[in-house]
A and B are shown apart, each in its own frame.
Chain A
Amino acid sequence: MSYILDIMYVTYYIMSAVLYAMAETTMSFRETSAWISLTSILAVFGFYFTVVGRALSAGPVSADTFLGEYVGAVILLVVLQIVLQIIAAVGTRIGGGDVETARDEREKLIELKANRFGYFIVLSGAVLVAGAIGYGLPGYWTANALVAAVVLGELVRFGAQLVYYRIGV
């Protein structure tokens, strides 16, 4: 339970900074949305891997040890994303910003370019894990390594989007 409160506190702290920056700059709703995705994934899976790391460093565990934590992290991430995206949309709307306009060509290009980086990370992770299985990597390591590859891929993808939004594409 304390982990959930910690995650909510960290997310609230980061989101306060993001929403402040959003009000002070010309940040679009989609850029804010990318910030929300990046920070919430970082917060939730940062804590998830902290828990997993502590358990694994204590010794071998059974294959389904982290199933509850993983499902909890995914549910928490979905709930956080929904709540924060709604807050960002309402905040953008109140501030006179545009929420309804479909992705334009620049935003689509940014997403496509950022996807390449994320895909490279996920693919590299999958190849490495597949190779490691051949050397007898235990099931819980395999599962968590794959989760780590996906999480890292998503962080890189949203990070690249934010860089492109700032420096141009």
Chain B
Amino acid sequence: MTQQQLAERVGVTRQTIIAIEQGKYSPSLEVAFKIADAFGVSIERVFQYDRGRK
């Protein structure tokens, strides 16, 4: 799945997907669930909480 395809499925721009991948943006729960749903996995398979990160 390309970034553009994922963006279209989730309903955000491709740049937002890129920002999430690069750790420059933490998505809302809704978008996080949509991303996990797009991959057909649970949310914790895609997102993990990083204690060391502000």
Contact = CB atoms under 8 A, between A and B. Distances in A.
A167 interface: yes
A104 B24 CA distance: 15
A104 B11 contact: yes
Contacts of A26: 14-15, 18
Interface centre among A28, A31, A104, A105, by most chain B C-beta atoms within 10 angstroms, is A104
Given A28-B15, A105-B27, 6 more contacts: A27-B15, A28-B14, A31-B15, A104-B11, A105-B28, A106-B27
Interface residues of B, number: 17
Contacts, number: 45
A101 interface: yes
Say whether chain A's binding surface is mostly helix, strand, loop, or mixed: loop
A113 B10 CA distance: 23
A168 interface: yes
B25 A106 contact: yes
Contacts of A101: 7, 11-13
A168 B26 CA distance: 9
B22 interface: yes
B24 A169 contact: yes
B31 interface: yes
A111 interface: no
A101 B10 CA distance: 11
A56 B31 CA distance: 54
Interface centre among B4, B11, B12, B13, by most chain A C-beta atoms within 10 angstroms, is B13
A80 B40 CA distance: 46
A105 B31 contact: yes
Contacts of A165: 15
B25 A168 contact: yes
Interface string A26-52: 111011000000000000000000000
A168 B22 contact: yes
A135 to B, nearest CB: 45
28 contacts: A26-B14, A27-B15, A28-B14, A30-B13, A31-B15, A98-B4, A98-B7, A98-B13, A101-B7, A101-B12, A101-B13, A104-B13, A105-B12, A105-B27, A105-B31, A106-B13, A106-B19, A106-B25, A107-B13, A107-B16, A165-B15, A167-B24, A168-B19, A168-B22, A168-B23, A168-B25, A169-B24, A169-B25
